[in-house]
Each structure stands twice: as C-alpha cells, then as structure tokens.
A and B are shown apart, each in its own frame.
Chain A
C-alpha cells in the first residue's frame, strides 16, 4: 500500500514537472508571435517607452499603411507565392518522373546516376554562389523570377524521396501488367504511379514550398529591383530605413508570417510529419 501511494505521489510530481516544462516551452515558442502582434498594433512611441506595451493597441491599420508606403508588400507576397508555387509544381513533376525512372525502369548506368544525385546533396550551396550569379547575369535573368525558379527545380532529395516511395508502394506486377496492355512508359507513370504517390507529393510539396518561400541568400543576390523582390528580401527593406519605426517593421513581418502559420495550423499533422520525416529518411 505505502509503495503504491509513494509511486502515485511520484507520478503526480513527475506529471507536474513535465507539464511545467512543456508549458514553458510552449509559451516561449508562442510569445514572439504574440509580441509581434502587440507591436504591429501599437504606435512606435508606445513601443519605444519603458516599460513597452504588452497588450495590443489600435494602430493595426496605420502601421500596415506605413508598410505599404515603404515596401511593395503585396507585390512581394505575390512574387513569393508565384515562385514557390511554380517551383513546387515543377519539382513534384520532375522528381516523381526521375524517381519513377530510378525505381521502375531499367537502363545502363542507373545506379551510378542515382549515386551521383545523392552525392550532389553533400555540396554546400554557397560553393557555386558567385559563378551562379554571373550565369544569371549572362542569361539576363537578374531581377527576373526565372532566376529563382530554374535553379530551384534542382532537388536531389526530392528524387531520392520519390524513388524510395515508388519502389516500396508501386507494385512491379501492376507496372508489368500495364505494359503488357500496351501502355507507354509515360502512361504507366501517369496512370499507375502518380495516383499511388499522392502522399509523397504532399510531403515533398510542403518541404519544397517552405524552402523556396523562406530562402533569402539567393534571392538577395539575384533580385536587385524592388518590383522583383520576394517577401523575404522585401522585409529587409523595412529595417534598412534611417528612421526605425518598430511598429511598422513588426506589422510587415507579422503579416508576412501569418499566411504560412495559418496553413501550418490547419495542416499541422501533415506539416510536422513531412518536415521531420524528410530529414530522418535522408
């Protein structure tokens, strides 16, 4: 009896400890979002006083108007959306096609080519940065979204991911049967493989979309004109001013962050499993 009671007491205290730890972590994770909102809705003079504002104010609209007057907010959001969507769709198509070839088609040098693709994953992206910039200049793609889209279509991980998924989820018998029925290789890919690999599409789409949406260094290098900025590059324009209007800065950052957070909250299970599974499997 007494050991059971002490076990129970121990469990309760352990439980309390775990709750406190997790609650603290959750608060620290969420607080910056709340604080962003607080600043985005307060006037700069309220923010820049001691103690600063800790509750939302009434300057939501004013601050955002200032954002629009400082940077091309909607244009940049649209550019980011365009670039991320086009790249993601392109990557889904190209990677699944290549993954299908590596998983189901026989051709000479298949293994060698696949390993070559894996090796490219090890190369740090900065190594080719400078010549890449000059290639874009030569192609006359500076300030052109093509400069983000085309290099963004290179996705070694995507091919790896698709190959693994197709190998283990598309049965050989089905592929062979379709071929005997006279389906071309592309037909087999399109009619047999694609419907089966929708879950892999979802995972890869989230990884790729997030990556392109959040990328900063490369867009910073090749997008020099404001009309071509993605939102990440445009946000930098907020803090580059001589007068620091923190309310305005936070308003821009907040509204640039909200769309992705909403999508994340709606699809949180899919997001979390996609983004972490991808890392573990590779």
Chain B
C-alpha cells in the first residue's frame, strides 16, 4: 500500500488527476469507436463508393458513374419491391397501431381482473423469433386446401386461395405475420403511456359530464400523442426494412408479388453477385428512410401544434 502510494505521488507530475481521468474516459469509450470504425463507418462509406462501381466481388472494380442507379431506377422489379414494401407497411402497421391502442385502453380499464395474464399472452408473440413466426404463418397460409387459412375461409363458403402465389395473397400473409408479432409490443407501449396520464384529468372531465368518446378524443389521444408518434416512427422504419418474413415465405424464388426493397438488395448482392447495383439499392433505401423520417417529423410537428 505504502509502495503504491509513493509511486503514484511520483507520477503525479505528468499523470495528474485531470489527465488520468481524461485518459480513462477515452480508453473506456474507445472500444465502441474502434469497432464502429471497422464494422460500421468504413462499410457505410465503402457502400457509397461501391454504388458507383461495377463489381462481381472478385475481379477489378470499374467506375461506372450513375449507371447502377439508372439501372435500378429503370428496373420494374425495383419499383415493384418498393410498392410492395409500402403496401405491406400500410397493411401490417396501421391496423397494428390502431388495435394496439384499443387493447391498451382495455388493459388499462379498472373494471377487469387477470390483467397480467392478458398482458403476458398478448406480449408473447414478440418473444418469438421472426423466422419462427414466418415459418408458422407460412404453413398456415399454405395454398393447398388443407392450409389452415383455406380451411377457415371455406367455412365462409370461399374457395381455397393460392396465398403464396397471388398478388394480394402474399401481401396479406406477410402483413399478418408482421401484425401478429408486433401488436402486443405496441399495446404494452401504449399501456405505459396511458398509465402516465394523471387520473385527475379523467375525474375532472367526468364532473364536466364528458362521455367515454369525449374522454378518449380530448384526453387520451392528445396525451398519448408523443408515444403514437414514436410507434409510427419506429414501425415505419422497421417496415421499410422488411426482409425475413418475405424471404422465408416466398423462398429463393424471390417472387415479384412479395419482393421487398431489402430482399431486392439481398438478391442483387448474394444471388446475382451484382455488388454495385446492390450498394446503389442500399443508398436508395437510406435516402427513402431519410425522406420518410422527415415526413414523419414534419407531420408530427404539424399535428403537435
């Protein structure tokens, strides 16, 4: 102990407390920056470089200017993948958020018991892996007569639907997977928001003679606004990156009915070995995400006023 103390006193000239603290600070945050430089920043910058090259992954790269972008933006399948992504975003996300609010409202009610049972069961899908969800629902949305969904529609006198090969069948199947996995997650987030609303507001409105609908319209929704904006934001970005569900459901065929932007990127890179166009797709996706996020922020600000 003595020894250590005298040594540190000797070192104090250069290693004063301030220096020591700063050194430790840099040291402690450096792992992130080193790892990010290697596996984050460099790949991102290199993507922007690759987007302007022609490269099959092995030979020489060749600068081709905007050719990759031109090629993608004139490829009908790219536009198909974009419109698929947006349609499935709409089908999978919007109902999810609306039902999430309704369920959160129900769970927040003082009238009911067994709340934790409902909470746990509604949340359980989120703990399931996306791959597992896609496999299970893929079997449900089987195009054959014995597929569960076809059995269910047959109860209503509808003929078997070829889910996995029809334009809307694929989209409905994939949107259902997304919907099922995320609805409980959003419910719990809304529930947390609802529980943050002070009870006095409701009590005051009851004295003023407000109806249930008025309470929802004038207290619940406005108070929940930040959380609604948050969930719209995150689920939109998530939906734009949709990949696992369509890949598992439509498989290696990359069928046009279900191809998404990230699936298109994956196909260009790892099936067609066209790394230039694939990188260009990544850049375009990045730009789309920025645009959509800005629209989100803009709309949120407008509504917020």
Q: Which residues of A contact B (CB under 8 A)?
A: 11, 14-15, 18-19, 21-22, 25-26, 28-30, 32-33, 35-36, 39, 47-52, 94, 97-98, 100-102, 105-108, 110, 113, 117, 120, 122-135, 150-151, 153-154, 156, 159, 179, 182, 184-186, 189, 210, 213-214, 216-217, 221, 231-232, 235-236, 238-240, 246, 249-250, 253, 256-257, 260-261, 264-265, 268-269, 271-272, 275-277, 279-280
CB-CB under 8 A from B111, the residues of chain A are 11, 14-15, 18
Given contacts A26-B122, A50-B146, contact A236 B131 (CB under 8 A): yes
Determine if B39 and A26 form an interchain contact, defined as CB atoms under 8 angstroms apart. no
Given contacts A98-B28, A239-B251, A249-B135, contact A107 B107 (CB under 8 A): no
In the complex, A231→B129 CA distance in Å? 10
Given contacts A126-B241, A250-B136, A256-B129, contact A153 B31 (CB under 8 A): yes
**Chain A nearest Cβ from B290, distance in angstroms:** 9
**Chain A nearest Cβ from B115, distance in angstroms:** 9
CB-CB under 8 A from A15, the residues of chain B are 109, 111-112
Determine if B43 and A131 form an interchain contact, defined as CB atoms under 8 angstroms apart. yes
CB-CB under 8 A from B293, the residues of chain A are 122
Determine if A153 and B35 form an interchain contact, defined as CB atoms under 8 angstroms apart. yes
Given contacts A236-B131, A257-B132, contact A128 B24 (CB under 8 A): no
B interface secondary structure, majority: helix
Does B148 lie at the interface of the complex (its beta carbon under 8 Å from any beta carbon of A)?
yes
Interface locus among B77-85, B165-173, B181-189:
B181-189
> Smallest CB-CB separation from B191: which chain A residue?
A276
Determine if A107 and B129 form an interchain contact, defined as CB atoms under 8 angstroms apart. no
CB-CB under 8 A from B28, the residues of chain A are 97-98, 100-101, 105, 189
In the complex, A26→B187 CA distance in Å? 12
**Chain A nearest Cβ from B48, distance in angstroms:** 9
The 9 closest A-B pairs by CB, nearest first: A128-B43, A107-B25, A131-B43, A107-B22, A101-B28, A131-B46, A185-B24, A105-B25, A26-B121
Does B279 lie at the interface of the complex (its beta carbon under 8 Å from any beta carbon of A)?
yes
Given contacts A29-B125, A131-B42, A280-B192, contact A239 B135 (CB under 8 A): yes
> Smallest CB-CB separation from A265: which chain B residue?
B120
In the complex, A36→B139 CA distance in Å? 10
Determine if A47 and B146 form an interchain contact, defined as CB atoms under 8 angstroms apart. yes
Given contacts A25-B103, A105-B22, contact A154 B36 (CB under 8 A): yes
> Smallest CB-CB separation from B262: which chain A residue?
A126
Contact of A52 among B21, B151, B227, B244 (CB under 8 A): B151
Contact of A232 among B112, B131, B251 (CB under 8 A): B131
> Smallest CB-CB separation from B18: which chain A residue?
A106
**Chain B nearest Cβ from A59, distance in angstroms:** 16
Contact with A along B94-112 (1 / 0, CB 8 A): 0000010011001101011
Which residues in window 1-28 of B have CB below 8 A to A? Answer: 5, 8, 17-18, 20-26, 28
In the complex, A84→B283 CA distance in Å? 30
Determine if A129 and B269 form an interchain contact, defined as CB atoms under 8 angstroms apart. yes
Does B87 lie at the interface of the complex (its beta carbon under 8 Å from any beta carbon of A)?
no
Does B50 lie at the interface of the complex (its beta carbon under 8 Å from any beta carbon of A)?
yes
Determine if A214 and B130 form an interchain contact, defined as CB atoms under 8 angstroms apart. yes
**Chain B nearest Cβ from A244, distance in angstroms:** 9
Determine if A129 and B139 form an interchain contact, defined as CB atoms under 8 angstroms apart. no
> Smallest CB-CB separation from A36: which chain B residue?
B136
**Chain A nearest Cβ from B17, distance in angstroms:** 8
In the complex, A210→B140 CA distance in Å? 25
**Chain B nearest Cβ from A16, distance in angstroms:** 10
In the complex, A106→B22 CA distance in Å? 6
**Chain A nearest Cβ from B215, distance in angstroms:** 13
Determine if A32 and B136 form an interchain contact, defined as CB atoms under 8 angstroms apart. yes
Does B145 lie at the interface of the complex (its beta carbon under 8 Å from any beta carbon of A)?
yes
Determine if B243 and A217 form an interchain contact, defined as CB atoms under 8 angstroms apart. yes
Determine if B112 and A261 form an interchain contact, defined as CB atoms under 8 angstroms apart. no
> Smallest CB-CB separation from B8: which chain A residue?
A182
Does B270 lie at the interface of the complex (its beta carbon under 8 Å from any beta carbon of A)?
yes
CB-CB under 8 A from B47, the residues of chain A are 127-131
Contact of A186 among B24, B140, B154, B248 (CB under 8 A): B24
Does B163 lie at the interface of the complex (its beta carbon under 8 Å from any beta carbon of A)?
no
Contact of B31 among A94, A189, A271 (CB under 8 A): A94
11 contacts between A and B (CB under 8 A): A15-B112, A21-B106, A26-B121, A106-B22, A107-B21, A107-B26, A124-B240, A213-B129, A236-B131, A253-B132, A257-B132
Determine if A130 and B40 form an interchain contact, defined as CB atoms under 8 angstroms apart. no
CB-CB under 8 A from A179, the residues of chain B are 17
Determine if B128 and A257 form an interchain contact, defined as CB atoms under 8 angstroms apart. yes
Given contacts A29-B184, A154-B32, A280-B230, contact A130 B131 (CB under 8 A): no
Contacts A129-B269, A135-B43, A272-B120 supplied; 12 other A-B pairs, CB < 8 Å: A18-B109, A29-B121, A50-B151, A97-B28, A107-B25, A124-B241, A128-B42, A128-B47, A159-B29, A186-B24, A232-B131, A264-B124
